Amino acid sequence: MGVTTTVLKRVEYGFPAILRERLAEGRPASAIIEDWAALASALDHDPDAVTEALTEAAQFATALGSANVAPRSALGVAVVEANGDLALADEVFSKWFGGQPDLLAFRRLVRLALRDGQASGLVEAGNGAVLAACAGTREASTGWPLPPACRVALCGPVRRVALLCFAPSRASDLAARASDAFGLTPLEARLAEALLDAPNLEAAALRIGVGRETAREALKKAMKKAGARRSPDLVRRMMDLMCGDHPAPLAIEAVLASSFGATAAEARAAARFAQGMTAREVAEALGVKDATVRGQLKAVFAKTGVNKAKDLVRLAAETSGLAALTGTAETVLEPADPNGRLRVVASGERRIAVTDYGPRSGKPVIVMHGAVTGRRLPPAMVVALHARGYRPLVPQRPGYGLTDVADAPYLEQGADDMARVLDALRIDRAKVLLRDSSTPTGLLFGSRHPDRVVSGVLVNPKWPISSHSAATRLPNSMMGVLSRLFVESPHLIELVGEIMRRQTRTDLMEKSVRQSLAHIASDQLALRTPGVMDALVRDAQGMFARSSRGFSSEHQAFVAGWQVPEAVGGNRWIVAECEQLVLAGADEIWGGLPGVQFRTLRDAGLLAYFTHPELIADLVAEV
């Protein structure tokens, strides 16, 4: 009775007021997560007020609510006393700066941090390399990825400062990551890594013990695989891969100005140059003479202590990456995926990310992720598919995770991306395993590229709007209310997506996951299994860290009137709906799929990949 009364009071209070109250508290997304009943009422009674309130909430500062994902190998951490004496250093920091580092380079940052709370700049490592660094007090470094020992050291009676250095170019696993991601040979990967430090190609070739012509040919092949036009572009793509999952700072020019000591004009030129433009293209973009830009870049080179374009590109990427990591509410360390290898497929100016779970000899099956989770498969799901002889491939759709946003109609772009992934991996045909929100893109792939599809399985597929009046499986839930919101007010999709992106802090994501699955008993049980909640949260943080464009564009394409294609490739399809989610009329919706059969998954919900991996793998094998 008490719960019902509370809900009714919130409905009467009005969702816009509740949202603004939560915004003042620094947690606007919780209004959607916890007060979806009030949102449903407001949609019926005052939709304009809902729009106005959501617009305000979508501007919420990411520094208070969002999370980034960073690779542990790219971070060096230390704690220093106010007088500059070293109190504690981790292994990576000691490797970069020596066992007894000269902290002279850090003293200015420490002094500024003690005065202002946080300060960023450039420092010189033990080998002379210029690195990006940030100093912060205990209060300022709350969201930084500091080891427990550093947290303890900062809480002592003596005032201390945390030092965080971000140098993915110095990460021990850089060559291995580049090799996996771009499909580089060992020689190509070693050369690409050597180029980060070497002054020129000849020096890089000498360092890895090959001739100049061999190195030139290897560089040409590496650039083609990474989609790079020139060596600085290759460095930029490697840095983007290694910098973790986070958006570039909105004020990247200001970041470069503060870290490099550059003027505003120099920072504008350097930012565009670091993003892949040539000096001439920068001049055209800014409306100035080539000579002006070259002079500005020369000044930036002098201020940073580097003298090569690729060095400036590398340093700009690391500096802006560090600004992103230290400017949000939380930075979490990239979770290990022991079974999968990240691949990045170049497609013109775009890149497409895919996790390849191998083995290469296995029969390929494309496994599509959901709206916010699923780019990493549960280990039990991987094992089950491997045991049946399959090679799972999980592509990230446009705007999700590391895949660039679409530059064509969304569903068509996503469908064609799947074909490009198969081309890059030299695979002719594959089975497809689609789940919920991936249904429109996956079936369109089967329609546009029918000869590439062997067969398919749909698990809890997303139904076309016109086929079901509620437009959702769970009308009396948070997800049900959001589905209705999106259908009735498509202009709000982007606002909701951006609110959620700015609220990916771990505690908020955990609440969102629990609320989303509150109506499904088997999913609630699964969340109590060790590791499941953590996997879902980390996955969602990675999917949303860079952009909410994938989420919003996909939902907008869906509500625009997506329909099941008339003709889809494959000789057989299975539509599997979990017992608690079954809808009437499936024959009418999916009956046109080749050789279609229907199954009900007993005691399963939206987390069927976690709870019923053997059953799902059996369905894949059956088709």
Least confident interval from 63-72, 244-253, 316-325: 244-253
pLDDT, tens digit (0-9, with 9 covering 90-100), for 71-105: 888 999 999 988 878 889 999 999 998 866 667 77
Residue 195's pLDDT is 85
Does the pLDDT of residue 248 top 70, yes or no? no
CA pseudo-torsion sign 428, 432, 438, 441: positive
User: How remote is the C-alpha of 557 from its chain's centroid?
Assistant: 21
Parallel, antiparallel, or unpaired: how do β-strands 453-459 and 341-347 relate?
Answer: unpaired
Does the pLDDT of residue 533 top 70, yes or no? yes
User: What is the number of other CB atoms lying within 10 angstroms of the CB of residue 359?
Assistant: 10
Predicted TM-score (pTM) of the model is 0.88
Tokens 């979990």, located at residue: 578
Residue 250's pLDDT is 60
Q: How confident is the model at residue 4 (pLDDT cuts 50, 70, 90)?
A: very low
Residue 579's pLDDT is 85
**Left (φ > 0), alpha (ψ -120 to 50) or beta: where does 248 sit?**
beta
Does the pLDDT of residue 3 top 60, yes or no? no
Residue 517's pLDDT is 87
CA pseudo-torsion sign 579, 584, 589, 593: positive
User: What is the number of other CB atoms lying within 10 angstroms of the CB of residue 579?
Assistant: 13
By the 8 A CB rule, do 304 and 40 touch? no
Comparing CA positions, the residue from 403, 390, 406, 439 lying closest to residue 619 is 390
pLDDT, tens digit (0-9, with 9 covering 90-100), for 194-209: 888 788 889 999 989 9
Of 237 and 591, the structure prediction assigns the larger pLDDT to: 591
Tokens 């420490």, located at residue: 110
Tokens 């850090």, located at residue: 106
Does the pLDDT of residue 7 top 50, yes or no? no
User: How remote is the C-alpha of 489 from its chain's centroid?
Assistant: 27
Q: How confident is the model at residue 471 (pLDDT cuts 50, 70, 90)?
A: very low
**Could you tell me which residues come within 8 angstroms of residue 34 by beta carbon, excluding any fewer than 6 positions away?**
511, 515
pLDDT mean across residues, the chain: 88
Q: What percent of the chain has pLDDT over 90?
A: 49
Does the pLDDT of residue 475 top 60, yes or no? no
Backbone angles phi, psi at 299, to 5 degrees: -65, -40
Question: Which tokens belong to 81?
Answer: 């006393």
| Max avg pLDDT among 148-152, 156-160, 427-431, 494-498 | 427-431
Helix axes 47-57, 15-25, angle to 10 degrees: 10
Does the pLDDT of residue 11 top 50, yes or no? no
Does the pLDDT of residue 178 top 60, yes or no? yes
User: How remote is the C-alpha of 131 from its chain's centroid?
Assistant: 24
Residue 245's pLDDT is 76
The stretch 368-395 carries a mean pLDDT of 94
**Could you tell me which residues come within 8 angstroms of residue 44 by beta carbon, excluding any fewer than 6 positions away?**
none
pLDDT, tens digit (0-9, with 9 covering 90-100), for 559-578: 998 999 999 999 999 999 98
